């Protein structure tokens, strides 16, 4: 039979699997030799174009309106089109410099000579308009990123290329928050006679672009390296290089993005020649690449910590019971025992295939500003049993361990391992893995006494603990996600000092002090720092990012 016919048959077979396979792991349904054979046949097909990059996301982007979702897949797509003043890794983009001129005035100097995809010039007016758009409630619904500008009282243009952000008080981390401010062309809205910032987003603007107008491409108009060609409700998108980009042009003439939720199906698509690069393959999926020189994979330590949250402050923690009716999580010895029972090295080595780092704290120890000297979390099951006995809970605790499915790499297996570790202590554990939508609602309703979660830290090592463990302080934006119901005066003092400290070195010291207290008191249990993994053809090189986003210019042609 002609080789092209064979290739066509196999390619159609894999495409059917990609579209229809909803099982936990497609590799369980595809004969391993067949998949490898498909990978060998793919080399006969040739690429669509040497200047086209075809990527498969694990989650479908929901919108190309940059303010409606902060989810990684959506943000990854949108970052191709839109830029902020500074990048997630603190590189200057549309800002060339910035400084606090007093305690409540932050002045940003803007890059000149930048044009939007439609040819309009970028100026300070676009920054004000974009800040208004971030605060504006579309159809009455709050934007996902609105809180980033919560302490901002005004945004004013000093001249065409200088803008001042006025805050209600000291807000030293404003530049970190401005990483979320995607800049749009003010000419795409009806501004009215004057443009005046306010925290409702009205700003004298009589019409904002609609979701449909973004999705049609009419107003998917940024300054980024790539321009809109198409976007589907499925999340599939096609982008083309912006040849008028102010900096180094994009690596690819054309970028095609598809979304394939099943990891095995993504790998099958790579081996079938449908994709050049896929994100988030599992360790099992990577077995399909062994011995095949046409494919490779790249791994990058990320800013995401995988951890457990414990309700340590309530008299009754949901899903947690003890024979005496108490909340055993209020006893530090119980929390220490739960932590000591977990073999993090085994989880990293056996379940994560080495593509993770054992945690020493609630933010990656390798991130700027973290205390890299803190020791890894100890594994000592014998001491764990001793502490439970001392606390009077040797065999009387029952715990529902809640976690979202399809959210974190090998997440369910990690949850199963933790349940087994705790069971060996005499604890009755029920693992409840549920869809993200169900889990998120229960978390918001504070119905979870113990749950597994992951938190990225693009704004620095203090990002999580400032929200997760502090006593609620709206003025300083602390404690908004304190599901542990934890409070400690020394911890709060350190975080309040951090929140208003403009000297970065001193701010790091306050954060480290708070982190040491959190690790001591264990309102949660750090597990490991997740690594991001991409599988790809070996004729491209991939330099991954710590924020887990998949961006076309991570990849370069060899």
Domains of the chain in start order, with CATH, are 3-62+232-298+533-557 (3.40.190.10), 72-225 (3.90.76.10), 301-531 (3.10.105.10)
Handedness of CA 24, 456, 319, 520 (dihedral sign): positive
Sheet with 105-110, edge to edge strand ranges: 95-102, 105-110, 162-167, 152-159
Say which DSSP state 28 is in.
G
Could you read off the pLDDT of 76-117 as tens digits, one per residue?
999 999 999 999 888 999 999 999 999 999 999 999 999 999
Residue 242: how many other CB atoms lie within 10 Å: 20
For 50, 179, 211, 552, 558, the CA distances from 242, given in Å and listed in that order, are 17, 21, 23, 13, 22
pLDDT for 121: 98
At 42 the pLDDT is 43
How far is C-alpha 1 from the chain's CA centre?
A: 47
Q: Say what the pLDDT of residue 21 is.
A: 45
**469-501: buried (b, 16+ CB within 10 Å) or exposed (e) per residue?**
bbbeeeebbbbebbbbbbbbeebbebbbbbbeb
156 DSSP β-pair partners: 164
| pTM, entire model | 0.81
Contact 27, 33 (CB under 8 A): no
Task: Answer for the pair 524, 122: CB distance below 8 angstroms, yes or no.
Answer: no
Q: Is the pLDDT of residue 11 over 90?
A: no
| Of the candidates 165, 167, 154, the residue with the CA atom closest to the CA atom of residue 195 | 154
Tokens of 498: 């951090």
The tens digit of pLDDT for each residue in 350-371 reads 999 899 999 999 999 999 889 9
More confident position, 186 or 15: 186
SS3 100: strand
Backbone angles phi, psi at 508, to 5 degrees: -60, -40
Residue 270, both tokens: 């790579």
Q: Which residues contact 61 (CB under 8 A, 6 or more apart)?
A: 73, 74, 76, 77, 78, 235, 237, 257, 259
Q: What is the pLDDT of residues 190-230, one digit of tens each?
A: 988 889 999 888 999 999 998 899 999 999 999 999 999 99
Of residues 30 and 326, the one with the higher pLDDT is 326
DSSP assignment string, 442-510: HHHTT--SEEEEEE--TT-THHHHHHHTSPPBTTTTB-TT-TT----HHHHHHHHHHHT--SHHHHHHH
- Strands 152-159 and 162-167 turn out to be antiparallel
**pLDDT reported for residue 368:** 87
Task: Return the number of other C-beta atoms located less than 10 Å from residue 535's C-beta.
Answer: 25
Question: Which pLDDT score is estimated for 53?
Answer: 98
At residue 287, the pLDDT reads 86
Task: Give yes or no for residue 13 having a pLDDT over 90.
Answer: no
Grade residue 282 by pLDDT with cuts at 50, 70 and 90: confident
398-431 exposure pattern, b = at least 16 Cβ within 10 A, e = fewer:
ebbbbbbeebbbbbbebbbbbbebbeebebebeb
pLDDT at 49: 56
Q: What is the pLDDT of residue 548?
A: 87
HSE-up of residue 204 (Cα within 13 Å, Cβ side): 11
The larger pLDDT score, comparing residue 187 to residue 43, is at 187
Question: Is 477 a residue whose pLDDT tops 90?
Answer: no
CB 363 within 8 A of CB 547: no
CB 74 within 8 A of CB 62: yes
CB-CB contact of 412 with 452 (8 Å): no
CA-closest candidate to residue 511, choices 525, 529, 496? 496
* Packed helices 32-45 and 263-271: angle between N→C axes, nearest 10 degrees: 40
Query: Which of these ranges, 111-115, 128-132, 138-142, 514-518, has the smallest mean pLDDT?
Result: 138-142
Helix-strand-coil percent breakdown of the chain, rounded to 5? 35, 25, 45
Cα pseudo-dihedral 389, 336, 312, 173, rounded to 10: 170
Q: What is the mean pLDDT of residues 396-403?
A: 96
More confident residue, 406 or 421: 421
CA dihedral sign, ordered 130, 134, 135, 138:
positive
Q: Cβ contacts of residue 71 below 8 Å, gap of 6+?
A: 59, 62
């Amino acid at each position: 039979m002609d080789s092209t016919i064979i290739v066509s048959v196999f390619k159609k077979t894999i495409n059917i699997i990609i579209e229809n396979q909803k099982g936990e792991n497609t590799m369980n349904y595809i004969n391993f030799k067949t998949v490898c054979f498909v990978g060998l046949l793919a080399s006969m097909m040739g690429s669509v174009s040497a200047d086209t990059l075809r990527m498969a996301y694990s989650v479908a982007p929901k919108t190309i309106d940059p303010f409606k979702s902060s989810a990684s897949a959506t943000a990854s797509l949108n970052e191709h089109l839109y830029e902020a003043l500074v990048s997630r890794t603190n590189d200057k983009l549309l800002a060339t410099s910035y400084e606090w001129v007093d305690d409540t005035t932050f002045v940003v100097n803007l890059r000149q000579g930048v044009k939007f995809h439609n040819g309009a010039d970028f100026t300070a007016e676009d920054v004000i308009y974009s800040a208004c758009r971030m605060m504006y409630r579309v159809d009455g619904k709050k934007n996902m990123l609105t809180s980033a500008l919560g302490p901002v009282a005004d945004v004013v243009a000093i001249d065409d290329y200088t803008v001042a952000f006025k805050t209600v008080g000291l807000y030293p981390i404003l530049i970190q928050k401005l990483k979320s401010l995607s800049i749009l062309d003010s000419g795409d809205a009806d501004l009215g006679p004057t443009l005046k910032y306010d925290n409702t987003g009205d700003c004298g603007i009589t019409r904002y672009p609609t979701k449909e107008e973004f999705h049609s491409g009419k107003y998917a108009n940024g300054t980024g390296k790539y321009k809109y060609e198409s976007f589907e409700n499925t999340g599939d998108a096609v982008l083309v290089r912006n040849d008028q980009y102010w900096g180094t042009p994009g690596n690819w003439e054309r970028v095609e993005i598809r979304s394939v939720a099943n990891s095995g199906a993504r790998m099958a698509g790579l081996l079938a020649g449908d994709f050049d690069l896929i994100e988030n393959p599992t360790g099992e999926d990577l077995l399909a690449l062994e011995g095949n020189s046409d494919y490779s994979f790249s791994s990058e330590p990320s800013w995401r910590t995988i951890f457990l949250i414990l309700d340590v402050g309530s008299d009754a923690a949901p899903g947690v019971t003890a024979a005496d009716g108490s909340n055993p999580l209020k006893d530090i010895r119980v929390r220490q025992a739960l932590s000591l029972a977990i073999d993090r090295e085994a989880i990293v080595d056996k379940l994560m295939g080495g593509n993770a780092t054992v945690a020493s704290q609630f933010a990656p120890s390798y991130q700027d500003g973290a205390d890299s000297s803190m020791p890894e979390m100890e594994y000592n099951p014998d001491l764990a049993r001793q502490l439970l006995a001392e606390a009077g809970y040797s065999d009387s605790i029952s715990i529902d361990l809640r976690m979202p499915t399809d959210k974190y790499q090998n997440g369910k297996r990690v949850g199963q391992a933790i349940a087994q570790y705790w069971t060996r202590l005499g604890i009755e554990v029920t693992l409840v893995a549920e869809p993200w939508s169900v889990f998120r609602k229960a978390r918001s309703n504070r119905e979870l006494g113990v749950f597994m979660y992951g938190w990225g830290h693009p704004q620095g090592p203090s990002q999580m603990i400032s929200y997760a463990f502090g006593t609620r302080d709206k003025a300083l934006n602390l404690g908004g996600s304190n599901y542990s119901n934890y409070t400690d005066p020394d911890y709060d003092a350190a975080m309040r000092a951090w929140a208003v400290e403009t000297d970065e070195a001193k701010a790091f010291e306050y954060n480290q002090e708070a982190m040491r207290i959190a690790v001591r008191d264990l309102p949660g249990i750090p597990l490991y720092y997740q690594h991001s993994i991409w599988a790809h053809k070996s004729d491209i090189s991939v330099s991954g990012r710590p924020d887990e986003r998949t961006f076309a210019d991570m990849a370069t042609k060899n």
